[in-house]
Each structure stands twice: as C-alpha cells, then as structure tokens.
Structure 1
Amino acid sequence: MTVFDEFNEVKRKGLPQILVIFGESKEMVQELKSQLLTFVNFEPTDLSQSYYDLTPNNSDLALEDLESLPFFSDSRLVILENLVNLTTAKKTILDEKQLKRFENFLDNPSETTQLVLVLYGKLDSRLKVVKKLKAKATLLEAQELKTQELIQYFSHETSLPRPVLSLIAAKSNDSFSVVKQNIDLVQTYALGREVTVDDVEKVVPKSLQDNIFALTDLIFKGKIDEARDLVHDLTLQGEDLIKILAILTNSYRLYLQVKLFQEKGWQENQQVSYLKMHPYPVKLANQLVRRLQVSSLKKGLADLIQLDFAIKTSAAEKAYLFDILLIKLTLKKN
C-alpha cells in the first residue's frame, strides 16, 4: 500500500484530529499537501481554517490559533508547515517556550481543533514531543514509489495508456516529480489527442541512462568518433566521468546477464521477473546484445572494472584513461 492509498483511506474515514504528512521526498509531500487542501476545500478567507508556513515571525500567531476556540464555526482546522523542530534537520523554528506550548496542545488537544502538520524530512523519534505526536496522530510518510506503484498511481490520475506511463517512468528514472513533469510535457505536445509511445520518445528529454544506452550502441557498432563526441557532450552538460563510468559498468553487467538469458532461451518477461527491474532497460539490452558474444561482454565488463580501479589509484588524468578504454572497447572485434 502506498502513502496515497493510505491517504485515500484517511479521506474515506474523515480527517483525524491530528494528521502528520512527512517524508524525505519533497515533491510527494507537496503532492499530498495539495490533495489535502483540495479535500478540505481550503479557502484562505474561511475563518475556520488557518494555514501557516512557519517562520519565527508568525509562530506565536500560529500557536494562538491552535490554542483558541473557534468563533464562527463548530470546529477549526490549523495547518502548520515546516515545523522543523520535529524533524532530524538541525534547525529550529519554535523556541523552548513555544515548543512547550505545542506540547501542551498535544497533551490536551481541544476537541474542536484539527491539526495538520506538513513536514519535510524524517521525524526525530528521540524527541519527547515527537513520541507524544506519534501516540496521538495519524502519520502519512511520503516514500518514493516503486516503478509499478508509480504507473498505477498515474494511471488513476491521468488517461494515459500504461505502455506510455511505463516508458515515461523509465525515462524519468522513476522519480515522482520528473514523471509528473514529463506527463505534463507529453500531454501538452499531444494537444488533446491520445498520447503515444512515439510522443514520449520525441518529447521527453533523454536521461543519462538513455545516453549510456546510446553510447553502448555506438561502441558495439564500432563508431568511435560518435562515441567520443557523445561522452564529450555529456561532460559539457555537467555529467561526471565517474558517474558515466558507473552507469556504463552497470549497463555492461546487465548486457552480460541478458546475453546469458538469451542463450538459455529466456523471454524478456522471464528476464524482468528474475532481475526485478524495469522492463524498458531489459528490452533495450535484448536489442543491443543480440549479435554480441558472451566473451566480448565479459572482457568489456572486466576492462570497465579495471578502469574504475585505475582512475581511483592512478595519477593519470581520468578523462585520458576513460578515452583510452573507450577506444579499446569501440575498436575491438565483437
């Protein structure tokens, strides 16, 4: 069950007296906050609702709202964002006196007041106030969704076909915020018509993983000039050679596994199930290695691992060492 499923259950039962939305995924916390504001029909002019993005200047006012009885309705909703005292961040918004006031509310919450906390980061479970909060509150922790959870979530939120969402998730490195941005991008590009896989390929920017697949394709085809140009372009875009090397090494490891699967006659769905990874890179790997030899992939993987060691222990320039290996990989016979 994802945090969005948990939130749907909260909405079904009704907002609890104290709700805490927190997590290290800022984008998902913000998405939950947005859904919360929609659910409660938040309106800044509604005197029964208060929202504070806490600062030292408004903290006393926020606490007064929390402690006060409602005047114009039967209940009051108070939403406090960024009460960093409760997280593992080494920052404070409330001073000791203010924090004591907040703790007093937790000890004796008014039946007419509902509190929602929106926090970015982990709760500091060592704190007495956090222990009290956990005992009293409903907690929603925003954790990054896995591939299939992402696809499932956005299949409910949009009308995009699952193959399209699957490709977007792969090209977005399964990042919730990037998936959301890329969905907006392809929908804008499609201008109301049904979005296709081709639209995703055309519009969604290439990830570093996509570029590494393109690089290995050039390597396997012996196109040394194009391969060197691509690496040069990636470094100009700010990508570090160590990171490129790490992804390239992992890619070779995947290629070798896929090639061994092919020789056993395994289908792509069997490979995906065994590897427990997204179908998209497995599909690309199957296309890339079809005409390659196991021995060639083993040698390439060994060379990449050796390069990683050389870069970390040699005084030679890493760009020079990487270029030498790139030439070696590209010009060798497969």
Structure 2
Amino acid sequence: MRIAASGYTPGMQAMHIFTGENTYAIREERRHWIAEFLARHGPDSLSILSRDIDGRSLLDEAGSAPFIAERRLILIDGMPRFSKDEVGVLASSVHPGVILLFVDPAPDRRLAGVKTLMQMASVKEFPDLPERELLAWMRSLALANGSTMTDEAARALIDRAGGNQESLWQEIIKLSIHASGRSVTVSDVEELAVPSGEQEVWHLTSLIASRRPAEAILYCRGLLERGEDPFSIWNILLWNVRNTVSVWSMVQDDERNPAVIAAKVKVPFPAARTLLTSTPSLSSRTINDIASWCADADVSLKTGEFRATGEAPGELLALIDRLILTCCTA
C-alpha cells in the first residue's frame, strides 16, 4: 500500500509546497508527481534544482516558456532563502506553462520570504499517520514483499524503531526478506530491528524505571555490539539520573501530572511519565546518594582517575553496570 497521492493534474496553480514530518509520504508524492509529469509531457519537461539557487536564476528559469515540452515542472529540493520581495516578483513572473514545486519537510517559517511563499503557494502538509493507518500500511508493505506481519509484531517494531515511516520502510523490507514467506514475529523484530536513537533512550529508561537490571545491562551490551560508544551510553544514564532527580523534586511538591512536570523542569514528557512509576518511592537520602555517586564518577572519568579509552573501555563499562544496578535497586 502506498500513501495516497494526488499527483500532478493539468490546470493546477503555478506554485506548490510539500512539507511536514512524514518524509516517507513526501518522498512518495514527489516521486509520483515526477512520474506523472514525465508521462504527460516527456523527458524534457523536468528540472530539479537545489535550495541554493538564487532569486535571479530561479526567476529566469520560471519565467521562460517551455522549449520542447508543452509544460515544465521545476522542482526545488529545499526552501531557498528569498526575501519577501523576491517571492512576490517570482509569483507574478511564473510562465503559464511552468509549475514550481518546493519540497522541504521543515522550512524555517520565521523567515519573511518563507512566510510569503507559503501564503502564495498551494501548501500540502504530510503529517505522520495515526496508529491505525500506520499498522495497515505496515501489514500491506510486508505482504507486498512476500511476508505477513501481525499487529503485535508491528507494534513491537514501532516501539523499537519509532513511528517514522522512512525508518519503518527499511526495517520491514529487511524483516520480510529474513522471514522469507512466513509471518514476521516479535522475536524477529527484537533480533534484527535497529532501534532509533530516541527509542534507545526511552527503552533503557523504561527498563531502569521498571527495576529490571539484568535486562537493562543486556540491552546496553546489545547497543555496544551494534557500535554504540560507551561514553554515549554513560551520558544517557547521567541524563536519566538528572531527570529522575527533577521528577522526584516535583513529586515532593505534590505534583504528579507528567505534562506539568515536563514543562516545569524541562524533562521530556515520555521520560516524566515513565519516571513517575518509580521515583515517588525513593527517599531523599537515596536520591542524594545516587546523584553524588554519579557526579564523583563522572569527575573521575574526566580527570583520568578511571581509565576509559576506545581500546580499553573496561572501567567505564563497569561504571555503567554499577550505575544501572544502583538505580534499579534503589
């Protein structure tokens, strides 16, 4: 199943923008537009430019009549940094046989030129799919690649790799090839799917908050085997301790709403929600002991008291294990 694409049709207005967080859907719609335009108007009907093009050059391109083809599509990957006046001149100068398509998932909407362009152009937003549609798309993609996928396996993949369709597309292709005609299972996902950086953090935080030290340590070992840097894992754990202290301090003030806590102490909402399951039971002495030990250990790492290099990370790995055990057994 492909994201529904409206595609190019004759008689459309001159300027269009594709934007939004769903980069997979943007890529598919971009591809669909190019295919439709080439099919209707031939190989000489397409020009692809970068965001670095200056206003004068784009004006020359857009204001010129198509030479061989009846119509011409000028696709600009990224939003050029034009002034408000340049956008106004461009909009009034586009030749009737030319269509401009700007593709930028996250344009800087603070810029006057971008604001003006988005007001004058036809803007198509591509948001992430809601869960029900995302699960249906995942099942359909697995089926198209010779396999099947249950909702349980699909949800496990989302938990592990995140909800970005671009990442999920790559993972489902890989899992389908591995399954080779059978159904993709949760075990397949756990064995083969690569966690996104954000999902790695949330999963490790969840294991620690659930007081599952053995699983947390094994998960860290898996990250290391996939090439993660030990210092990166150490910094994730320190960040988790910082968040734990912040959430605990809010609980002491009788605040248990994760949204309020996230806003007041600058803790990501998922982390605040997860930590609220474990921090209320901690004593002030336990919090002080954990925070003090982390600070001392980090200083010792930075001053060389603990040896930790790429070739000999043993002492750092021991500190990681100890910190996980300390947080899980507090």
The bucket for the TM-score relative to the shorter chain is 0.5 to 0.7
Q: Distance in 1 between matches of 2:217 and 2:79?
A: 54
Partner residue, 1:258: none
Q: Evaluate the alpha carbon distance shift between residue 20 and residue 328 of structure 1 in structure 2; reply closer, same or farther with a 3 A threshold.
A: closer
Alignment counterpart, residue 162 of structure 2, candidates 167, 170, 173: 173
Alignment counterpart, residue 135 of structure 1, candidates 111, 115, 119: 119
Alignment counterpart, residue 68 of structure 1, candidates 64, 71, 87: 64
User: What is the deviation of 1:239?
Assistant: 2.4
State how 1:84-103 maps to structure 2 within 5 Å.
84-85=80-81, 103=88
Q: Evaluate the alpha carbon distance shift between residue 137 and residue 300 of structure 1 in structure 2; reply closer, same or farther with a 3 A threshold.
A: farther
State how 1:13-92 maps to structure 2 within 5 Å.
16-23=13-20, 29-41=26-38, 46-55=43-52, 60=57, 62-85=58-81
Structure 1 portions without partners, runs of 5+:
87-95, 252-275, 283-293
**How does the TM-score come out when normalised to structure 1?**
0.59
Partner residue, 2:281: 298
> Is the CA contact (8 Å cut-off) linking 2:14 and 2:98 kept in structure 1?
yes
Q: Distance in 1 between matches of 2:119 and 2:216?
A: 62
Aligned pair 1:186/2:175, yes or no?
Answer: yes
Q: Evaluate the alpha carbon distance shift between residue 73 and residue 215 of structure 1 in structure 2; reply closer, same or farther with a 3 A threshold.
A: closer
User: What is the deviation of 1:107?
Assistant: 2.2
Q: Distance in 2 between matches of 1:135 and 1:329?
A: 52
The secondary structure found in structure 1 opposite 2:44 is coil
Partner residue, 2:98: 113
The secondary structure found in structure 1 opposite 2:158 is helix
Q: Distance in 1 between matches of 2:236 and 2:187?
A: 29
Q: Distance in 1 between matches of 2:162 and 2:288?
A: 24
The secondary structure found in structure 2 opposite 1:47 is helix
State how 1:177-216 maps to structure 2 within 5 Å.
177-205=166-194, 208-209=200-201, 212=204, 216=208
Structure 2 portions without partners, runs of 5+:
144-148, 245-268, 302-315
Deviation per CA, 1:208-255: give whole Å up to 9, x if none: 25862796499547799979978987974452424235458989xxxx
> Is the CA contact (8 Å cut-off) linking 1:151 and 1:162 kept in structure 2?
yes
Counting aligned pairs with the same residue, the percent is 15
Q: Distance in 2 between matches of 1:179 and 1:220?
A: 27
Deviation per CA, 1:33-72: give whole Å up to 9, x if none: 3343344447997112222235459973x54331111233
> How many pairs were matched up?
280
Q: Distance in 2 between matches of 1:204 and 1:223?
A: 17
User: What is the deviation of 1:85?
Assistant: 0.5
RMSD across aligned positions (CA):
5.2
